[in-house]
Amino acid sequence: MTPFVNIYERFSTKIQDYMLDELFRESTDTYEDYIFSFLKSSIAKFTHCRKNLLDRDETNKCFNINLSELEEEILAEMMKVEWMDKEVNNVLEMRLALNNSDFKRYAESNNLKAKMDLRDNIQERVNNLIVQYSYSSYEWK
């Protein structure tokens, strides 16, 4: 069995988010419930996994299967993509709340392109990990 916390720990070392840090300090259960949504989205998108990621126990917060290090890493990186999507959406929502001139003066407008580029780079890294994962089971002759 692979506990969800294995993936959460990998994920948390890859990001810097003060809101999540505060949530973790207040309650690890609340923190894990919140980031589980990132894990669920990642599971749904990891379509090339050779193991059944739906074979899990959400009450005990674990997969009923043993995931490899690479499978855990792919899920953590995919969670990072989901987290970055949220970050980009937060900036886009801010744009809607502020008028255009205020948004242009606000530092987040400059940050939007950087966040979108970072999200694309993370997605590319995930795609490369999945290719590596896919080829790892192929027997080369």
Q: What is the 3-state secondary structure (H, E, C) of 20-65?
A: HHHHHHHCHHHHHHHHHHHHHHHHHHCCCCCCCCCCEECCCCEECC
Model confidence pLDDT, tens digit, residues 43-88: 999 998 999 999 999 999 999 999 999 999 999 999 999 998 888 7
Q: Which amino acid is at 22?
A: E
pLDDT at 103 > cutoff 60: no
- Res. 101 pLDDT band, cuts 50 70 90: low
CB–CB of 2/65 below 8 Å?
A: yes
Query: Dihedral angle at the C-alpha atoms of 46, 47, 50, 52, nearest 10 degrees?
Result: 80
| Token pair 């780079």: residue | 121
CB–CB of 4/62 below 8 Å?
A: yes
Q: How far apart are CA 98 and CA 49, in angstroms?
A: 42
CB–CB of 3/62 below 8 Å?
A: yes
pLDDT of residue 86: 86
Q: How far apart are CA 124 and CA 54, in angstroms?
A: 25
**Domain around 45:** 2-137
Number of domains in the chain: 1
Q: What percent of the chain shows pLDDT beyond 90?
A: 56
